[in-house]
Structure 1
């Protein structure tokens, strides 16, 4: 089944007059891998967000749409704690444990805290 990311990537390809293989070549992967990502059988590599925005010169609005498509398609999130302090690890694990209990109001508050607009308020 085509994912939100798959729909977005397909639209970008069509808008640029490309076929699956063209985009796959630009991303340095096989057409079958790109197809598997589009269909939700493989996880999209994290560096594709940046690559696709750069390769296809996405507008700010397209970049936001792409980010939303990625979020809608994600089933799991992997975090690398190799350089994280104990305090940061503890925060991430606590957040993960409480994630399903967070209501919409709390989600909006957390998003506001994490937004770029409030970056200075965190320090």
Structure 2
């Protein structure tokens, strides 16, 4: 099943008249790896964002759509806690533990507090 990122990449390819093999070559990966990224079986390498922006000369709107599709397609995130003091670390862990317990209203309030679009 295609992820939001997969949909974005496929549309980008088609808009540029490319097949998967051509995009994979530009990204220096195999077609099967690119397919696995599109289908959510593999994580997109972090380096791809800048590469895709530059290869396809994405405007700001397209860059925003790419970022959002990456976020929506992620199954997990990694947070580096090395530079956080114990208070901030505890906040991160508390948030992660309680995330499943938040209702939609609480999520909306958190997004408003963090000034980030929820959906």
Aligned to 1:121: none
Shift of residue 43 of structure 1?
Answer: 1.3
CA-atom RMSD in angstroms: 2.1
Shift of residue 68 of structure 1?
Answer: 2.7
TM-score using structure 2 length: 0.79
SS in 1 for 2:67: helix
Aligned to 2:100: 100
- Identify unmatched segments of 5+ residues in structure 1: 117-123
SS in 1 for 2:42: coil
Shift of residue 96 of structure 1?
Answer: 0.4
> What CA deviation, in whole Å up to 9, does each residue of 1:58-116 have, x standing for no partner?
22322232233223322222222233322222111111011112222332332233338
Residue 27 and residue 85 in structure 1: after superposition, are their counterparts in 2 closer, same or farther (change >3 A)? farther
- Identify unmatched segments of 5+ residues in structure 2: none
Q: How many residues were matched structurally?
A: 116
Residue 98 and residue 58 in structure 1: after superposition, are their counterparts in 2 closer, same or farther (change >3 A)? same
Residue 28 and residue 80 in structure 1: after superposition, are their counterparts in 2 closer, same or farther (change >3 A)? farther
Matches of 2:101 and 2:42 in 1, distance apart? 28
Q: Structure 1 segments of 4 or more deviating over 4 A?
A: none
SS in 1 for 2:79: coil
